[in-house]
Chain A
């Protein structure tokens, strides 16, 4: 079964507007971590934001915020004030049982974001 689901293959957003990227996950673990990465056309994976399953506050990092709804098992990424440089592919990922030594990230299919001027 797929652990991470990103249902939006592609999205367009106007410059300076906000965009929400959906991510739902599936796990039976009580303890897990959720990540968002940005992959520009050059290929490198850039870490954006992290949310631990026990974190009570939604994570925020500059223009990135994570809307964490544990009961719904969703971890949507919100990018505020979009910039042209935000155009990239965005991946949601999960690490289950983070206190084990088996640090494996499961990635979603990704969402391509295109910011329009």
Chain B
């Protein structure tokens, strides 16, 4: 299957700093990528849809200025958590839509566990 790589897998940062998470499609071009947030033992919550060459579409309740998404190329989308606070600690996971699969599956990255101290 298609490979999506997410980096870093774990990150610890100080409160007030910014953290960038990368999501790469390694063997295909993804015009659309998605960013999710997951709290322990809970479901995935869609944060935003990232489209190459255009602004991301954020879900209701997600702060655009807090979670900056950039999809500058067909293989890379980044999520930057700005001025991170302990409540931003969570598991963040991206997915990329494989073109030509219609309604078939999206492929997920390995996820990033963010801890803000």
Query: A residues within 8 Å of B by Cβ?
Result: 33, 35, 37, 42-47, 50, 52, 89, 91, 95, 98-99, 102-105, 107-110, 112
Q: Kindly list chain A residues whose C-beta atoms are within 8 Å of the C-beta of B108.
A: 37, 44-47
Q: Are A107 and B109 in contact (CB under 8 A)?
A: no
Give the shortest distance, in Å, between B37 (CB) and chain A (any CB).
12
Asked if B61 CB lies within 8 Å of chain A CBs, one says no
B19 within 8 A of A: no
Contact B105 A35 (CB under 8 A): yes
The secondary-structure label for the interface of chain B is strand
Choose among A33, A37, A42, A112 the residue that contacts B103 (Cβ–Cβ < 8 A).
Answer: A33
- Residue of B whose beta carbon sits closest to that of A9: B41
List 9 additional contacts besides A45-B111, A91-B43, A107-B45; criterion CB under 8 Å. Answer: A33-B104, A42-B110, A43-B91, A47-B1, A47-B105, A47-B107, A50-B104, A104-B34, A105-B34
Q: Roughly how many angstroms separate A105 CA and B111 CA in the complex, as a whole number?
A: 17
Is B43's CB under 8 angstroms from A109's CB? yes
A78 to chain B, nearest CB (A): 19
Residues in A whose Cβ lies below 8 Å from that of B113? 43
Q: Quick one: given A43-B91, A43-B93, A45-B95, are A110 and B43 in contact (CB under 8 Å)?
A: yes
Which residues of A sit under 8 angstroms from B76, Cβ to Cβ?
none
Bound CA–CA A44/B23 (angstroms): 13
B110 CB contacts on chain A under 8 angstroms? 42-44
